[in-house]
Amino acid sequence: MRILKFGGSSVATAERVEKVLDIIKESQEESKLAVVVSAFGGVTNQLIKMTDLAGRGDRGYEKDYKSFSERHTEMIMALTSGERQKKLLKHIGKYTLRLGEILRGVYLVRYVAPKTYNQILSYGERLSARIISQALCEIGVDADFMDARYHIRTDSNYGNGVVDFNITNSNIKKYFESHPKTQIITGFIASNANKETTVLGRSGSDYTAAIIGAAVEADRIEIWTDVDGIMTANPHQVPGARPILNMTYEDAMEMSHFGAKVLFPPTIQPAMQLGIPIHIKNTFNPDSPGTIIDSSGSDKKYHITGISSLDAISLIRIQGSGMVGKTGLTGRIFQTIAKADVGVMLISLASSEHSICFAVDPASALVAKLALEEEFQLELQVKNIAKILIEDNLCIVAVVGENMRHIPGIAGKVFSTLGEHGVNVVAIAQGSSERNISIVVSKDDETQVIKSLHETFFDKI
């Protein structure tokens, strides 16, 4: 079986959905399929906006709700006809009415509980999957709607559910044994043990495809999106960037953690465990080869696989002469940061131990600094720690690639390229996997750095 997943931009309009229907119909002739879909493009954002407005007691949510309902009705009108259309309109009408009631409830009490929020978010995928399954029936494909909430079990971490794979795998296997039709599955959504709706995180539909793919031990997971694959660099920054034809799971993980937005990072793990290839394809350019992620490795012609970046980070720097040789300090720093619920993207510790710095999301920088100042109050007082600083206006550029393991000279090339362009490097980290060299530079240098590294590694050979 093959799993096909179509993202929001692939199903943003009726014309685009028609393209998707063609792809499904064609693929179905080659292999048995299951199809995961996102909400229609922009719908999840709209649901978030409506909920926020309603929760603040702002009736402005009603306008968005109206356009939400109209948009789904228009989709049904464009993609179905006759009796099927009538039935679907009635059905979807009931759904949207219920959504309106929930939003009204939020508006009246001026409060949205996390579980209510997740329930509201689920409407995007529940509606799109239902409408697309009926649109497929309309063109003669035997399709069924599948609500993933009945099968994918998570904990109660609303907004970012953690999947219980034992229960989930067995649910999905059982379901597919007795449902032979092509399943059109809601991406993004799941439920907890109390049957309350949870979601898998923004962009989580990719993950749904991997969860289903792993449970049925699919031959391939196809992620259909709006670009030609994972690119050697961001094409907005490097016009000569090109799609990467083949890369390892590990490289895909590094690239997606460091800013390449094509794939939701947790997607890779379940596929990697079973060796299921992930194929990234372009809905609007289906003839282009796309990117294949598997265990076979990357194109040996280049020393690196790609360059990606996180374009806004803050660096927290802790320094002081009293830090040298103190055991347990690093542990305390990161425990404090974890307790403050701040994620860390890169760590760099000088071997002199005189300073340690790490990168965080700029929105969390102050929280991190305050938490550290509280934890190290005493050390600051007696000047064992001189200061805790935030450095802003920075970014991380990551050079990623399986092939650079054990090849000497890659780091040298990276830094001489930066030197030639007069770029000041603020911090460096190399993953011990040797698949990633990350450099922190000023945000103002970001495009220049990526462009010149791309030239060094892809254009000059």
Buried b (16+ CB within 10 A) or exposed e, 53-76: bbbeeeeebbebbeebbeebbebb
Angle between helices 14-30 and 114-138 (to 10 degrees): 70
Query: How near is the Cβ of 19 to ligand ASP at its closest, in Å?
Result: 17
Geometric angle at alpha carbon 446, from 330 and 256, rounded to 5°: 65
Tracing tokens 């789904």 back to the chain, one arrives at 72
Query: How near is the Cβ of 203 to Mg ion at its closest, in Å?
Result: 4
Query: How near is the Cβ of 185 to ligand ASP at its closest, in Å?
Result: 12
Residues 4-33 that bind ligand ASP (CB under 6 A): 7-8
Closest by CA to 92, choosing from 108, 69, 115, is 69
251 neighbors 435 (Cβ within 8 angstroms): yes
346 neighbors 438 (Cβ within 8 angstroms): yes
For β-strands 246-248 and 306-319, DSSP reports them as unpaired
- The interface partner of residue 44, options being ligand ASP, Mg ion, none and the CB cut-off 5 to 8 Å by kind, is ligand ASP
Residues 120-159 that bind ligand ASP (CB under 6 A): 124
Select from 9, 80, 118, 203 the one that contacts ligand ASP (CB under 6 A).
203
Provide the binding-site residues for Mg ion, judged by CB under 5 A.
7, 203
Select from 4, 103, 134, 187 the one that contacts ligand ASP (CB under 6 A).
187
- Which tokens hold the place of 458? 């892809």
| Binding segment (CB under 6 A) for ligand ASP, from list 148-156, 198-206, 304-312, 402-410 | 198-206
Q: Does 198 bind ligand ASP (CB under 6 A)?
A: no
- The interface partner of residue 188, options being ligand ASP, Mg ion, none and the CB cut-off 5 to 8 Å by kind, is ligand ASP
Closest by CA to 354, choosing from 391, 321, 389, 317, is 321
Nearer CB in complex with ligand ASP: 7/401: 7
Q: Does 188 bind ligand ASP (CB under 6 A)?
A: yes
- The interface partner of residue 243, options being Mg ion, ligand ASP, none and the CB cut-off 5 to 8 Å by kind, is none
Q: Does 202 bind ligand ASP (CB under 6 A)?
A: yes
Nearer CB in complex with ligand ASP: 124/161: 124
Euclidean distance between CA atoms 94 and 73, whole angstroms: 12
- The interface partner of residue 158, options being Mg ion, ligand ASP, none and the CB cut-off 5 to 8 Å by kind, is none
Q: Mask: binding to ligand ASP, 39-78, rule CB under 6 A, as x and -?
A: x----x----------------------------------
Give the count of residues interacting with ligand ASP (CB under 6 A): 12
231 neighbors 306 (Cβ within 8 angstroms): yes
Q: Mask: binding to ligand ASP, 85-124, rule CB under 6 A, as x and -?
A: ---------------------------------------x
217 neighbors 210 (Cβ within 8 angstroms): no
Query: How near is the Cβ of 187 to ligand ASP at its closest, in Å?
Result: 5
Query: How near is the Cβ of 189 to ligand ASP at its closest, in Å?
Result: 9
Geometric angle at alpha carbon 199, from 195 and 202, rounded to 5°: 175
For residue 130, what is the enclosing H or E element?
helix 114-138
Q: Does 205 bind ligand ASP (CB under 6 A)?
A: yes
CA distances from 458 to 96, 334, 451 (A): 50, 37, 10
Dihedrals phi, psi of 303, to nearest 5 degrees: -80, -25
Select from 68, 80, 161, 204 the one that contacts ligand ASP (CB under 6 A).
204
Residues that bind ligand ASP (CB under 6 A): 7-8, 38-39, 44, 124, 187-188, 202-205
